[in-house]
Chains A and B, each alone.
Chain A
Amino acid sequence: MIKNFLMNLLLSAIWVALTGSLYYTNFLFGFMIGFFILWIMNRNETDQRYFYRVPKIISFVFYFLWELFKANLQVAFDVITPKYFFKPGIVKYPMSARTDFEINLLTTMISLTPGTLIVDISDDKKTIYIHVMYLTDPETFVRQTQTGLERRLLAILR
């Protein structure tokens, strides 16, 4: 896993050194070529996790950006129109994330989405308390976050 990633970085550095133009687009292109070469070379290996994980990470980034955009639009609409449409509330959210790194990433993602704010994490690291702006029903919110953001995030990390 980490060996493949380092190898991929090395291949893209070689590509940048050979082409001689130090731009990020060139580096990304070298990374794609390195990924493709590594994929061809490792087809017979048993550990294929790296090649599933990189497309998942890219799709997760786009999914998160889309969610961010949608939520920002909703909040902006509520800010500029005279009527308040929101129903705020503090929700108890049981996490499936266990290690510190998973909790850190999950809470950062939830906090960065407009309309949700982490108020606190319980000391046994089992639940987080989220202040939600658009809350129709606590169970629905918990289920949506569990099946949407958290499932995708944990599929990458585990």
Chain B
Amino acid sequence: MIEIVLAILSTVGALSILFASIGILRMPDFYLRLSVTVKASTLGVGLLLICAAIMFPDVSVTTKAIAIIFFLIITAPIGAHMIGRAAYFTGTPLWKGTIIDELAGMYNEETHELESEESDTDDDDTPNIAKTDEETE
């Protein structure tokens, strides 16, 4: 019974890491790559750690696994958010199939402050969407 649960969990975890690494190759632009990689790898590593915790019936292993999962869940979204924000700020183009970009023109160029409402209309708010596939390669 335990072996079946372990097999299912570890297979799903390993497959999710595999799909994340294929996603890095296949996704057309930076944001989609980031979006695919961070979540799938968090889920995959989490499932593998849960497997380790079930397999070794030792309190120290379980404690370490839970601590690692906790810190992974706390830190991975923050890392993804910081990388994505930096990429948007330095002008990494979005994929050509992007249908909407409501963030365009919301940043104050000098102070780097982000507004929640459109304040003035004179600044340039054309979305930075790539026209061809080569721009986002």
List residues of A whose CB falls within 8 A of some B CB: 22-24, 68, 71-72, 75-76, 79-80, 84, 86-92, 94, 107-108, 111-124, 126-127, 129, 131, 133, 135, 138
Chain A's interface: helix, strand, loop or mixed, by majority?
A: mixed
Is B135 among interface residues, defined by CB-CB distance under 8 A? no
Query: Using a Cβ–Cβ cut-off of 8 Å, how many residues does chain B contribute to the interface with A?
Result: 46
Specify which chain B residues have a CB less than 8 angstroms from the CB of A133 in the assembled complex.
32, 35
Q: Is the CB of B35 within 8 A of A116?
A: yes
Q: Is the CB of A117 within 8 A of B35?
A: yes
B32: which of A86, A92, A118, A127 is its contact (CB, 8 Å)? Answer: A86
Closest CB in chain B relative to A31 CB, distance in Å: 15
Chain B's interface: helix, strand, loop or mixed, by majority?
A: helix
How far, in whole Å, are A51 and B81 apart by their CA atoms in the complex?
35
In the complex, chain B residues 62-94 whose Cβ is within 8 Å of any chain A Cβ:
62, 73-74, 76-77, 80-81, 84-85, 88, 94
Q: Is the CB of B116 within 8 A of A127?
A: yes
Specify which chain A residues have a CB less than 8 angstroms from the CB of B43 in the assembled complex.
68, 72, 114
If the complex has contacts A88-B98, A114-B36, A131-B35, are A22 and B88 also in contact, measured as CB distance less than 8 A?
Answer: no
A selection of 18 A-B contacts at a CB cut-off of 8 Å is A24-B62, A76-B19, A76-B40, A84-B28, A90-B98, A90-B102, A92-B102, A92-B116, A94-B116, A114-B43, A115-B35, A119-B103, A122-B114, A122-B115, A123-B113, A124-B116, A129-B103, A138-B102
How far, in whole Å, are A19 and B7 apart by their CA atoms in the complex?
31
If the complex has contacts A68-B43, A87-B97, A88-B99, are A107 and B81 also in contact, measured as CB distance less than 8 A?
Answer: yes
Q: Which residue of A lies closest to B118 (CB)?
A: A92
Specify which chain A residues have a CB less than 8 angstroms from the CB of B100 in the assembled complex.
89-91, 135, 138
